[in-house]
Amino acid sequence: MSQLTNTDKKTRPIKVINSSKKLVNGNLVAKVEIQNSSVHPIRFNYKFDWLDESGSLDSSSSSWKKSSINGNQIISISDIDPRGTATEFRVLFKGI
Angle at 84 between CA 83 and CA 88, to 5 degrees: 110
> Can you give 56-78 as a three-state secondary structure string?
CECCCCCCCEEEEECCCCEEEEE
**Residue 61 clears pLDDT 80, i.e. is over it:** no
**Model pTM?**
0.87
pLDDT of 3 = 56
Domain that includes residue 59, residue range:
3-95
pLDDT of 27 = 93
Mean pLDDT of 49-57: 88
CATH number for position 19: 2.60.40.3230
**Residue 34 clears pLDDT 90, i.e. is over it:** yes
Overall number of domains in the chain? 1
